[in-house]
Amino acid sequence: SRRGIKNNDIQVIDLLYNTQRKFQIVFTKADQIKKDERQVLLENSQNIIKPYLPIFNGFIFTSSRRQDGQKELRLSLGKYIKS
């Protein structure tokens, strides 16, 4: 989570975009960032994702330590497994 979206992530997103594959971005270790840092991360990430909105399915913040986002991630993955 603290690192945000990097150049190698954008390369993968470009590949997904060029093949019209939907994707989500999962930020792990969300318990390690402060609330205000998380907001900045989200805003920066939203700006990066703007060109990819037609195939973008949202952000999920997870923390294995606090179990945050686990249910949301499972539900999201379940949709892709079924389709």
pLDDT tens for 17-31 read 999 999 999 998 888
**For range 41-60, the mean pLDDT:** 95
φ, ψ for residue 23, nearest 5 deg: -150, 160
Q: Residue 82: is its pLDDT beyond 70?
A: no
Q: Compute the distance between CA of residue 69 and CA of residue 48 in angstroms, rounded to an integer.
A: 22
User: Model-level pTM greater than 0.85?
Assistant: no
**For range 46-59, the mean pLDDT:** 95
Return the DSSP state at 21: -
